[in-house]
Amino acid sequence: MKSEVKKLPKSQVEITIEVSLEEIKPFLEKAAKKLSKDLKFDGFRPGKAPYDVVEKKVGAMGIIDEAVNDIISETYYKILEKEKLMTLGQPEINIIKAAPNNPIEYKAVVATLPKVEVGDYSKIKVEKKKVEVKDEQVDKVIDDIRNMRAKEKLVKREAKTGDRLEIDFDVSLDKVVIEGGSHKKYPITIGESRFIPGFEEKLIGLKAGDDKEFKLKFPEKYHQKTLAGKECDFKVKCNGVYEREVAKLDDAFAKEVSNKQFKTLVDLKKNVRNNIEKDEENKANQRVEIEMLDKLVEISNFEDELPETLVKNETNKMLHEMEHNLTSQGMKFEDYLSGIKKTREDLEKEFEPQATQRAKTAIVAREIYQEKKFKVTDEEIQVEVAKMIAAYPDNPEAKKQLESPQYQEHLRNQLGNRKVIEFLKSEMIK
């Protein structure tokens, strides 16, 4: 079997493969036997007609046509192994020659994983800032818990700070209601500062049934550029005022919210602080990891442009991640796209630079994994699987999925990446 590999732009290769007459003979015999089972031959039981009888009925090309897919399938992967090519996706096959008493010749065009020369990571230094949790952060979490558990009752008096109101409102710019600027039965608590500055203060003094109109200017750095710094007209109708009774901050509150896990308010605050520290530590680690990988990609030398297939796959992965996050929050992806007035294709284009960076990061990490001869053992995988199964003791379907070969291969990649990350941290963090 002869082969020739030619490099194409964007990390693609064109492989020309010629399979000799001697090499295709077993494939032709297998194809003739299959045809003898599928077709009726007078005087022969299914599958028992000799080669020459089958050839006489279907023709030499008929047998070749039946055999050609198997020939390509087997020989293509042998050449990949011989040439040590790491390909991505399915090849585009073009048959050059397939005729009786001739070798089979075909071309395969396929994307490959680009080679990379990893930069000198010993020269990269990244600083990991020490995590410090302030008392204000702890107090905010405690206050949020208190507010979530607050008791409410409908009152007939004027609204004051701390009350929750249910309102209908419209926001207009140049007498046209802005996008997303009309709401019915909207819940808002005066004093939480969850709207633009000045809005909640305008609600003080309203009673159920009251209407109010006023003007407010959106902040200069408002996220919606078309509204930033613009003065808009507001129309508000108050449907109801609810007085909120927030629990007293004491040991009894700590026992209640923790289901008696903590006996004192001090213990509750200590637990909240520990949880915030863990969360901030995770965020700090993520920031460090992103920074050091970005810097490493920047100084690494990629032999060729990334193949479009690789970037496309990473873009799709990012879209699926976004869709999953929105679904977990009770939103529909289609509604989100409609709300931001964009299509899936628009997001794909926006995600392309980040997808390219993510793909490069994965290639660099893979190269380091191989250079350092890291290994993920079966024992390491089983330990991780056992931990996850323990978290779902009454879910046999989850257990089945966690033990599947596909998931364990995914886990092997995750653990391999983690080994690379930990190695780079030991080299780069000041």
Whether residue 387 is contained in a domain is answered as: yes
* 191 and 240 housed in the same domain: yes
Look up the CATH number of the domain holding residue 72: 3.30.70.1050
Is 74 found in the same domain as 174? Answer: no
What is the domain count for the chain?
3
pLDDT of residue 201: 96
Determine the longest span between alpha carbons in the chain, in angstroms.
Answer: 101
Domain-terminating residue out of 245, 277, 292: 245
Q: Which of residues 189, 221, 245 is at a domain's end? A: 245
Whether 296 is covered by a domain: the verdict is no
The answer to whether 131 touches 277, Cβ cutoff 8 Å, is yes
Q: Is residue 264 part of a domain?
A: no
Q: What is the pTM of this model?
A: 0.70
Contact yes or no for 228/218 (Cβ under 8 A): yes
Q: How many residues does the chain have?
A: 430
Do 162 and 101 share a structural domain? Answer: no
* 13 and 87, same domain (yes or no): yes
Asked whether residue 36 is assigned to any structural domain, the reply reads yes
Q: State whether 9 and 82 are in the same domain.
A: yes
Same structural domain, 241 and 174: yes
Q: pLDDT 10s digit of each residue in the chain, 430 long?
A: 999 999 998 889 999 999 999 999 999 999 999 998 888 887 787 878 889 888 998 899 999 999 999 999 999 999 999 988 888 888 999 999 999 999 999 999 999 988 899 999 989 999 988 899 999 999 999 998 998 889 999 999 999 999 999 999 999 999 999 888 899 999 999 998 889 999 999 999 999 999 999 999 999 988 888 899 999 999 999 999 999 998 899 999 999 999 889 999 999 999 999 999 999 999 999 999 999 999 999 999 998 889 888 899 899 999 999 998 888 888 888 888 887 888 999 999 999 999 999 999 999 999 999 999 999 999 999 999 898 888 888 888 888 888 888 888 889 999 999 999 999 999 999 7
First to last CA, the chain: 54
Sign of the four-CA dihedral 60, 61, 66, 72: positive
Last residue of a domain, one of 245, 270, 304: 245
Range of the domain at 28: 2-112
Whether 6 and 99 share a structural domain? yes
The answer to whether residue 69 is domain-embedded is yes
Please list the alpha-helical segments (H only) found in 204-264: 251-257
102 and 185 part of one domain: no
CATH code where residue 155 lies: 3.10.50.40
**Among the listed residues 388, 410, 411, 412, the one whose alpha carbon sits nearest the alpha carbon of residue 400:** 388
